[in-house]
Structure 1
Amino acid sequence: MLWIVTTLIAATAQTGRNAAQAGLTARIGTAGATAVRFIFGLPFALAVLVAASWLAPIPIPGATSLGWAAMGGLSQIFATGFLLMAMAGRGFGIATALSKTEPVTLALIGTLALSEPLGWARLGAIVTAVAGVLLVSGTDWSRAGLRSVAHGLAAGALFGLSAIGFRGAILALPDGSQFIRALTILAMGLAIQTCVALAWLAWRDRPALSGIARDWRQSLAAGALGAFASLFWFWGFALTSAANVRTLALIEVPFAQLVSGRIFRQRAAPRQLVGMALITLGVGWLLAVAI
């Protein structure tokens, strides 16, 4: 049951991180705003790891764990790149919706790479929830460009591969509780991503580095929220399959629609109502199978 709590906390914290990053994009660019989550998230992860080391020994990652973590970190960076390319091609809604196909990729790759049991019931629950997301998006698929669709699907697949990499890294650690394992891989993953992000910005986007330094206060807030959200994502990955975690996280989509309707008086279209029902059904189905 703990993975349910950690997933809901992670999804809530991620919403706050997205809000903090949104204001940065206009000032320091998309690449700079994306890098903030890694650069400013790393110090928080390291601080928590040092504090935790006083209570429990920190497992020493081996080559296998490092390899999985590198795969997870790099896949997440490339996934973000494909997502941004899809959005740049006038496919914002398409990119967002297709990136949410991640749980399907997670389930299939998890079965092949980590020998995690899938089963028709669990796969049916995941597909139902993802289908609901595609309906809720409200995207006019008749106007979807082939390139935007391809980039969106690539982003979803790579986000799934990223979660598998991080879960594989956690499982490959020699010892430690689920929380300590998750914290260790979080710090290692953020270190890898920070090195890659800094190298890329120094090579291709030096003005973004200056912008990050100038807006360090807001960047710090985004990094802290990002590290907090990632810790609970990783803790969830340590407790159950990544597909379970990411599928449950889809419940935030109908919640967001309900809040929009209540606060902003935005009415949902009939197909969006059907989509919300499918997401709720899929998540409930998954919980019935997983618990």
Structure 2
Amino acid sequence: MSWVLFTLGAVFLQTGRNALQSKLSDKVDTLGVTLSRFLFAPPIALAYLLLLSYLSQPSFDSHANVQPAWLELPQFSLSFVLVVILAALLQIAATSFMVMLFKQRNFAIGAGLAKSEALVAGILGTLFFGSYLSVIGWLGIVLGGVAVFVLSAGKSVQQGATRSLSTKTLCIGLASGACFALTSLFVREASHLLALPLKQAAAWVLLWVVSIQAAGLSLYIFIRKPNILKQMLANVHTVLVISTVSCLGSVCWFTAMALQHVAYVKTLGQIEVLLTLLLAHFWLNDKVSKREIIGLLLIGVAATMVMWA
């Protein structure tokens, strides 16, 4: 059940990162906010990998003329490289769509659609990635999706945004959810392609993914939109915090998805919505409606179902 702890850790970290990115989006272009998630992540991911590898190995005899096992590189197949490249590109696309949602008038329902990733991951995982989900697991996934839509629709009604729901917001939300789902499925696939314990394999996948993302997106912005770099430099402290929190969250997500089916992990991860509403109620003194209470209860039931599936 360690995947549950990693998922809960990811939820707390992702909630904080989303709040910071939403705030940064007022000052920095969408691509810059997307890059803030990855820019300083590679050295953090490398440090985590080295520490995990060192702690996972048996004691090393310093007098023996042999390289310690934790310093040895695993074999990276062509399939592994292609899968991590796909995961990296899809996560950039998913993050960009999410940042675009921050700028929409009816963000609540768009973000709810983005949370469709659990159901999409379940369907695609079963069809193309050899995942097998139990009946209870499927019921939990569907129930979690219903709960998120109940909550997002309720918030949209409170904000008076239902009538102005646009096709653009619907498409962006669904695109974000689909890209996040595919990213997660490819991350799990890559972790299982390495002949390593799953936690170490997930750490290697994370290092590859964030390195590709940071290098590729930085180069693109430098060539095509250098002004974005100036915007990020003016907010470098916020960018550093976002990168750090995001990388630690990715450590939790990648490990959880290596250990358990993506659809289960993402369904349990929907308690992020619950956390957000609780913060709004107790910190911002927002009133909780009956619809939101129903949605929260449904999320709790869905999370329980996938934890015991």
Per the normalisation by structure 1, the TM-score is 0.91
Counterpart Cα distance in 2 of 1:254 and 1:23: 21
- SS at structure 2 position matched to 1:28: coil
1:93 paired with 2:108, answer: yes
Identity of paired residues, percent?
28
Change (3 A) 1:21 1:231: same
Shift of 1:131: 0.9
- Partner amino acid for 2:5? V
Counterpart Cα distance in 1 of 2:9 and 2:271: 12
Aligned equivalent of 1:135: 150
Would you say the 8 A contact 1:58–1:180 is kept in 2?
A: no
- SS at structure 2 position matched to 1:139: helix
1:26 paired with 2:48, answer: no
Aligned equivalent of 2:193: 172
Which deviates more, 13-22 or 121-130?
13-22
Aligned equivalent of 1:16: 16
Aligned equivalent of 1:277: 297
Counterpart Cα distance in 1 of 2:235 and 2:229: 10
Q: Which runs of 5+ in 1 are unaligned?
A: none
Change (3 A) 1:261 1:41: same
| 2:132 pairs with one of 100, 117, 121 | 117
Change (3 A) 1:218 1:82: closer
What is the aligned residue count? 288
Cα RMSD for the two superposed structures: 1.9
Aligned equivalent of 2:173: 152
Q: If each structure's helix is expressed as a fraction of its own residues, which one has the higher value?
A: 1
- SS at structure 2 position matched to 1:130: helix
Would you say the 8 A contact 1:111–1:117 is kept in 2?
A: yes
- SS at structure 2 position matched to 1:172: coil
| 2:93 pairs with one of 78, 100, 111 | 78
Counterpart Cα distance in 1 of 2:182 and 2:257: 13
| 1:205 pairs with one of 225, 234, 239 | 225
Greater Rg over alpha carbons, structure: 2
Shift of 1:145: 1.5
Per the normalisation by structure 2, the TM-score is 0.86
Counterpart Cα distance in 1 of 2:189 and 2:137: 20
Would you say the 8 A contact 1:7–1:232 is kept in 2?
A: yes
Counterpart Cα distance in 2 of 1:123 and 1:263: 34
Would you say the 8 A contact 1:87–1:95 is kept in 2?
A: no
Which deviates more, 177-186 or 47-56?
47-56
| 2:255 pairs with one of 220, 223, 235 | 235
Shift of 1:117: 0.5
Counterpart Cα distance in 1 of 2:165 and 2:236: 38
Counterpart Cα distance in 1 of 2:163 and 2:22: 29
Q: Which runs of 5+ in 2 are unaligned?
A: 58-69
Would you say the 8 A contact 2:106–2:164 is kept in 1?
A: no
- SS at structure 2 position matched to 1:143: coil
- Partner amino acid for 2:24? L
